[in-house]
Amino acid sequence: MSERLAVVVGVTGGIAAYKAVSVVRELVLAGHDVHVIATEQALRFVGRPTLEAISRNPVRTDLFEDVAEVRHVRMGQTADVVVIAPATANTIAKLAAGLADDLLGSTVLASRAPLVLAPAMHTEMWQHPATVANVALLRERGVAFVGPESGRLTGEDAGPGRMSEPADIVAAAIAAAGPRDLAGVRVVVSAGGTREPIDPVRYIGNRSSGRQGIELAVAARDRGAEVTLVAAHLELPAPSGVRLVAAGTAEELRAAMLAAAAEADVVVMAAAVADYRTRDVSPTKIKKDAQGDRLDLALVRNPDILAELTAARRPGQVYIGFAAETEPDGEALVALGRAKAARKGVDLLVLNRVGWDEGFGAESPNRVLVLDAAGSVRGEASGSKSHVAGRVLDAVQTVRNRSK
Ligand code: C5P
């Protein structure tokens, strides 16, 4: 996500309406402007004050409130995306028929924004021919569906019909709203930090949380790319909707990246790869009593994965490297970046300054310069790691368009 979206969340009358609160909350926490339209039935399952407090906006239900504003038209026209969670069988039927007998139905008809439905109902209702036909018709019109999942339903029963998890619904809503300029593009992102074992208990590691790489994977996914995330010890959960490949050490990351890059259009090396690994990994835990006051570890250089990948590049592929430097002087920092871009053979190098309290961590913002292959500054971005991810992908698109 790189911009603040106007999101209309429709909540309709099913038990899963309680989970709509989490959908609204996650959208708000991600910085979006959320307006809830609840049906009368929805408000029998979840309270208006809850939805108002969480969305930070009034909750609308009634077509006949403040008629002068023609609210359904305004909300429909200004929405970047409309997501209905839960979408009951009744709501799906009404949408398929184009009914506008309440504020939600009217808003959907007045809107040209992408529509995302998260169905929730009992299995029999989901599988009923009427629902199946309604869903097929809506899909044909371009409506996106997220779920339902198969799992435990309200009572003792289980089966397809359970509403998707709020995080998946939010991801689907954002994906539907965003530009799809990477549709069908195969993007591989490495993220996290490798750990090089010393013995079965200890390792040499680094402070990378994996957040910047995760945000790049999410941003690429939301723009329509098919994303493979090669993950080395992420501190955060991996996002949904991407192919995940776990890689713990530099050697494992190398193997995973060589395999994935062969099939990719865009390769982003955001992982912090350990420059050295232990020459001899002890098969048993090293005991301090046996070592005495001093322990010498022999380290050997790890291969430069990125340089190896670019050496085997196919025409049309775009390679992006990262360089985190502690150099305080701006010009010297860029000079380091320029040399690194050339050495690694990348099309773009994302350069940032790191320090004890800069650059690292899941929450901390990032400030980067984007250099091209010749080392010229092509852009800069500062802000959240998701914002930076969006700007890096914009730079990737510039390179791709140039080479077309
Ligand atoms: O040389 P340095 O570690 O500063 O380069 C950083 C860039 O190179 C990052 O994109 C990182 O993922 C990649 N790298 C690599 N293999 C290494 C070390 C770094 O691919 N052994």
Is 181 within a domain?
Answer: no
CA nearest neighbour of 13 among 33, 41, 35, 36: 41
Residues 6+ apart with CB under 8 A from 283: 199, 200
Q: Which of 172, 148, 180, 174 is nearest to 161 (CA)?
A: 148
195, 168: one domain: no
Q: Choose which residue among 190, 304, 340, 370 to substitute to test ligand 1 binding: the one with the highest number of ligand atoms within 8 A of its C-beta.
A: 304
Query: Interior CA angle at 253 toward 230 and 336, to 5°?
Result: 95
Task: Clarify whether residues 194 and 286 are in a common domain.
Answer: yes
- Residue count (the chain): 404
Average pLDDT, the chain: 92
Domain finish residue from 157, 176, 195: 176
Mean per-residue pLDDT, 112-138: 95
> 271 CB under 6 A from ligand 1?
yes
pLDDT value at residue 250: 98
- Per-residue pLDDT at 404: 73
Q: Looking at the domain assignment, is residue 1 inside a domain? A: no
Q: Give the least confident one: 61-65, 264-268, 278-282, 339-343.
A: 61-65
Quick check: is 345 in a domain? yes
Q: What's residue 357's pLDDT?
A: 64
Residues 138 and 199 in one domain: no
Out of 27-41, 54-68, 129-143, least confident range: 54-68
Structure tokens at 295: 């322990």
Dihedral angle at the C-alpha atoms of 141, 126, 87, 181, nearest 10 degrees?
Answer: -40
pLDDT at position 329, please? 87
In this predicted model, which residue has the larger pLDDT, 197 or 224?
Answer: 197
pLDDT one-digit tens code per residue, 54-68: 999 999 998 877 776
Residue nearest to atom 9 of ligand 1 (CA): 322
Same domain, 269 and 353: yes
Which one has a higher pLDDT value, 73 or 400?
Answer: 400
Q: What's the pLDDT band for 326 if we cut at 50, 70, 90? A: confident
| Judgement on whether residues 264 and 289 belong to the same structural domain of the protein | yes
Task: Please report the pLDDT score of residue 358 as a whole number.
Answer: 66
Query: How far apart are alpha carbons 172 and 152 in whole angstroms?
Result: 22
Give every CB contact of residue 352 below 8 A, 6+ residues apart in sequence.
322, 323, 324, 325, 359, 366, 367, 368, 369
- Residue 222, domain member (yes or no): yes
Same domain, 10 and 141: yes
Look up the CATH number of the domain holding residue 361: 3.40.50.10300
Of 141, 176, 211, which residue is a domain's last?
176
Structure token pair of residue 390: 């969006």
pLDDT (average), residues 104-122:
94
Please work out whether the CB of residue 269 comes within 6 Å of at least one atom of ligand 1: yes
pLDDT at 245 over 50: yes
Query: Could you tell me if 190 and 305 lie in one domain?
Result: yes
CA of 322 to the centre of ligand 1 (A): 7
Q: From 113, 122, 127, 126, select the one nearest 157 (Cα to Cα).
A: 122
Task: Quote the tokens at residue 124.
Answer: 């029999």
Q: Would you state the structure tokens that stand for residue 188, as one six-digit string? A: 């591989």
Identify whether residues 132 and 76 lie together within a single domain: yes
Ligand 1 close to Cβ of residue 96 (< 6 A): no
Report the percentage of the chain scoring pLDDT > 70.
96
Say whether pLDDT at 234 is over 60.
yes
* Beta carbon of 217 within 6 Å of any ligand 1 atom: no
Domain that holds residue 34: 6-176
Report the separation in Å between the CA atom of 258 and the middle of ligand 1, taken as the mean of its atom positions: 14
Whether residues 144 and 252 share a domain: the answer is no
Least confident of 117-131, 150-164, 246-260, 314-328: 150-164
Per DSSP, the three-state class of 37 is strand
* pLDDT, mean of residues 271-281: 97
The total domain count for the chain is: 2
Exposed, middle or buried: residue 101 (CB in 10 Å: 0-12, 13-18, 19+)?
Answer: exposed
Test site for ligand 1: of 212, 276, 305, 327, most ligand atoms within 8 A of the Cβ: 305
Ligand 1 near 306 CB (within 6 A): yes
Q: What confidence tens digit (pLDDT) does each residue in 81-97 have?
A: 999 999 999 999 999 99
Q: Residue holding tokens 């026209």?
A: 77
Residue 98 domain-assigned (yes or no): yes
Here the CATH number for the domain that contains residue 167 is 3.40.50.1950
What is residue 235's predicted lDDT score, i.e. its pLDDT? Answer: 94
Cβ of 349 below 6 Å from ligand 1: no
The kind and range of the H/E element at 131 are helix 129-140
On whether both 342 and 198 belong to a single domain, the answer is yes
Position 73 pLDDT exceeds 90: no
How does pLDDT run across 2-25, given as a tens digit for each residue?
478 999 999 999 999 999 999 999
Asked if residues 278 and 197 have their Cβ atoms less than 8 Å apart, the reply is yes
State whether 74 and 142 are in the same domain: yes
Determine, yes or no, domain membership for 255: yes
Residue 356's pLDDT is 65
Q: Is the pLDDT of residue 279 over 80?
A: yes
Condensed to tens digits (0 to 9), the pLDDT of residues 344-376 reads 999 999 998 876 666 666 566 788 999 999 999
Q: What stretches of 167-254 adopt beta strand conformation (E)? A: 186-192, 196-197, 203-204, 226-232, 243-246
CA of 272 to the centre of ligand 1 (A): 7
CB 198 within 8 A of CB 297: yes
Query: Whose alpha carbon is nearest atom 6 of ligand 1?
Result: 323
3-state helix, strand, coil in the chain (%, to 5): 35, 25, 40
Q: Which of 128, 149, 176 is the last residue of a domain?
A: 176
* Overall average pLDDT of the 318-337 stretch: 92
On whether both 126 and 260 belong to a single domain, the answer is: no
Residue 301 lies in a domain: yes
As a whole number, mean pLDDT of residues 333-342 equals: 95
Active site members: 206
309: Cβ below 6 Å to ligand 1? no
Closest ligand 1 atom to 271 CA? 12
Residue 307 has pLDDT above 70, yes or no: yes
